[in-house]
């Protein structure tokens, strides 16, 4: 009797096993340092070409309304959502949506690494007003250096510092300080006792000082050993207040008319999802002086979105005396780093991290790279940050002595506010254009203590008021006299 073997069984009858078709999954990013991972917290980054609704349709459910996706949050600027997922099957379902999901990344928290503050304090009666109606007023050594035409051989504690007068530097520009908070009531955020300008320090979105910050892990506030004061908008650490005052205080910064905005993203740690969510502003400058950050897709996505929106970002280099050539310890400075050799006036410059984040390292009073300050090709420029005086957070008067790259970066952010205040966001509508202005006003080859062979750009930030390339009628270099006349006619 003849029998017929069904075709379905033919492969096994021949001793063959049908291959198992595995569902393709999108990448699951997890940092190498697993101690930083937040258990069961995941960032789901949606592709730029997709809508969130496309993702819900693919899954067959809306996770924003699903208990399986706990603590759900949508971050528009990241084009991503974050939630706690304990069901591995659901996580796999999300990762199977290769049409709409770019990457799934584990949530992370980085321990907060602060710069150094000495015990030295100055009382209010030692504060000296450094500007007023005259074009030049006394200022501290670091302002003297950044307003000079060349390397200074002597920098007294106080010396003449010229500045742009009309408009005052940084007028109309906000510097968003992503940090530990700001004591916005400190007197240095007013414009001095004799030249009364408006108060120039604000909490983000009109939050009050005792309101919980939307950009820190508020649910950690009630954990044993944590201080609730670390999770409100006000500064309970001192780092953010000092950084902000380096950018825009009337005594210590070059952004004499800039407004600093407190975006508190750091409590006793740095949550990537909250730091990334804080990078969402328009018509502004962003300063990030957080140390110890590593690559994370959510943070990179936020920074890219800000850059695409025309927001220049200034970041402190790491406070470690190592060559940062490969960028492993200097994020977000290392974002998409590349070299571009180009001409600026009669000079040839090399720019790194070309269209992304502007990375700043620190110098001391002798123009030397400060001890434990990063070097390497990913540094864009240096600015004073060692032994500088800045506002303290614990009182509304007085200063302390600080050191670190955190206090160098805000000088560059303030310079950006200076050029934006003069030329406006309409003229300088991309970060690249802003960075180009800063580069035109470098003093070059004056920074000492750079290791040989490190390929570190030797650029020093200045305001350009005395720059050798500054044209008549212009407040800084990089513009022609005709361009400045046209700008002045519009004001």
Bridge partner residues of 161 (DSSP): 137
Element (H, E) at 243: helix 239-248
Instruction: Please list, residue by residue across 421-436, b when 16 or more beta carbons sit within 10 angstroms of its beta carbon and e when fewer do.
Output: bbbbbeebebbebbbb
In contact, 431 and 311? CB cutoff 8 Å: yes
Q: Which of 101-115, 338-352, 376-390 has the lowest mean pLDDT?
A: 338-352
- Binned at pLDDT 50, 70 and 90, residue 208 comes out as confident
Regarding beta strands 339-344 and 347-352, do their DSSP bridges make them parallel or antiparallel, or are they unpaired?
antiparallel
Tell which residue, 427, 416, 411, has the closest CA to residue 484.
427
Separation of alpha carbons 57 and 181, rounded Å: 40
The predicted model gives 248-276 an average pLDDT of 74
Over the stretch 387-410, which tens digit does the pLDDT of each residue have? 999 998 888 888 889 999 999 999
Q: Is 336 helix (H, G, I), strand (E, B) or coil?
A: coil
Domain covering 28-109 in this structure, CATH number: 3.30.70.80
pLDDT above 80 (res 430):
yes
69: which DSSP letter?
S
Count the helices and strands in the chain (H runs, E runs): 10, 22
How is the chain split into domains, by residue range?
A: 28-109, 116-490
* 433: Cα within 13 Å, side-chain hemisphere: 15
- Please state, as a whole number, how many other Cβ atoms lie within 10 Å of the Cβ of residue 333: 32
Q: Is 136 helix (H, G, I), strand (E, B) or coil?
A: strand
Structure tokens at 17: 């096993």
Asked whether the predicted pLDDT for residue 417 surpasses 60, the reply is yes
401 bridge partner residues: 389
User: What's the pLDDT band for 212 if we cut at 50, 70, 90?
Assistant: confident
Statement: residue 314 has pLDDT above 50: yes
pLDDT of residue 335: 54
DSSP three-state, residue 246: helix
Task: Give me the phi and psi of 91, to 5 degrees please.
Answer: -60, -40
- Residue 478: its pLDDT value, please? 96
Q: Describe the crossing of helices 409-427 and 431-440 by its angle, rounded to 10 degrees.
A: 120
Q: In whole angstroms, what separates CA 8 from the centre of its chain? A: 61
CATH 3.40.50.200, domain 116-490, yes or no? yes
pLDDT the model gives residue 204? 81
Res. 102: pLDDT tops 60:
yes
pLDDT-derived band at 244 (thresholds 50, 70, 90) equals very high
């Amino acid at each position: 009797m003849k029998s017929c073997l069904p075709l379905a069984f033919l492969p096994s009858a021949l001793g063959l096993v049908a291959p198992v078709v595995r569902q393709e999954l999108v990448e699951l990013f997890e940092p190498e340092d697993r101690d930083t991972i937040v258990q069961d917290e995941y960032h789901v980054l949606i592709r730029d070409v997709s809508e969130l609704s496309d993702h819900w349709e693919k899954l067959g459910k809306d996770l924003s309304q699903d208990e399986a996706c706990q603590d759900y949050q949508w971050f528009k600027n990241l084009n991503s959502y974050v939630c706690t997922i304990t069901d591995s099957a659901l996580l796999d379902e999300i990762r199977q949506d290769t049409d709409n999901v770019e990457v799934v990344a584990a949530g992370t928290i980085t321990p907060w690494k602060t710069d150094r503050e000495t015990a030295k304090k100055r009382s209010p009666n030692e504060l000296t007003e450094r500007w007023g109606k005259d074009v030049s007023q006394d200022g501290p050594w670091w302002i003297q250096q950044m307003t000079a035409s060349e390397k200074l051989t002597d920098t007294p504690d106080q010396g003449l510092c010229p500045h742009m007068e009309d408009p005052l530097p940084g007028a109309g520009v906000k510097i968003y300080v992503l940090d530990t908070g700001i004591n916005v009531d400190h007197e240095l955020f007013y414009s001095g006792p004799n030249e009364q300008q408006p108060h120039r320090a604000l909490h983000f979105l009109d939050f009050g000082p005792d309101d919980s910050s939307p950009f820190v892990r508020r649910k950690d506030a009630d954990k044993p050993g944590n201080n609730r004061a670390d999770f409100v908008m006000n500064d309970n650490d001192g780092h953010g207040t000092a950084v902000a005052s380096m950018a825009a205080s009337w005594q210590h910064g070059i952004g004499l008319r800039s407004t600093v905005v407190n975006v508190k993203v750091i409590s006793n740690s740095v949550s990537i999802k909250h730091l990334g969510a804080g990078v969402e502003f328009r018509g502004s400058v962003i300063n990030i002086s957080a140390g110890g950050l590593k690559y994370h897709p959510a943070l990179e996505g936020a920074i890219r979105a800000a850059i695409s929106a025309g927001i220049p970002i200034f970041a402190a280099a790491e406070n470690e005396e190592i060559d940062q050539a490969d960028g492993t310890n200097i994020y977000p400075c290392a974002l998409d780093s590349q070299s571009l050799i180009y001409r600026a006036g009669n000079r040839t410059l090399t720019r790194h991290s070309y269209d992304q984040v502007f990375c700043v390292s620190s110098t001391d009073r002798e123009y030397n790279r400060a001890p434990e300050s990063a070097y390497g090709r990913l540094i864009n420029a240096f600015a004073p940050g060692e032994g500088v005086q800045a506002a303290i957070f614990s009182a509304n008067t007085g200063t302390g002595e600080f050191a670190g790259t955190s206090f160098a970066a805000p000088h560059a952010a303030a310079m950006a506010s200076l050029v934006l205040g003069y030329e406006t966001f309409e003229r300088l509508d991309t970060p690249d254009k802003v960075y180009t202005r800063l580069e035109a006003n470098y003093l070059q080859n004056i920074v000492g203590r750079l290791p040989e062979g490190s390929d570190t750009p030797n650029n020093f930030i200045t305001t350009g008021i005395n720059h050798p390339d500054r044209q008549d009628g212009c407040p800084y270099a990089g513009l022609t006299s005709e361009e400045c006349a046209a700008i002045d006619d519009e004001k």
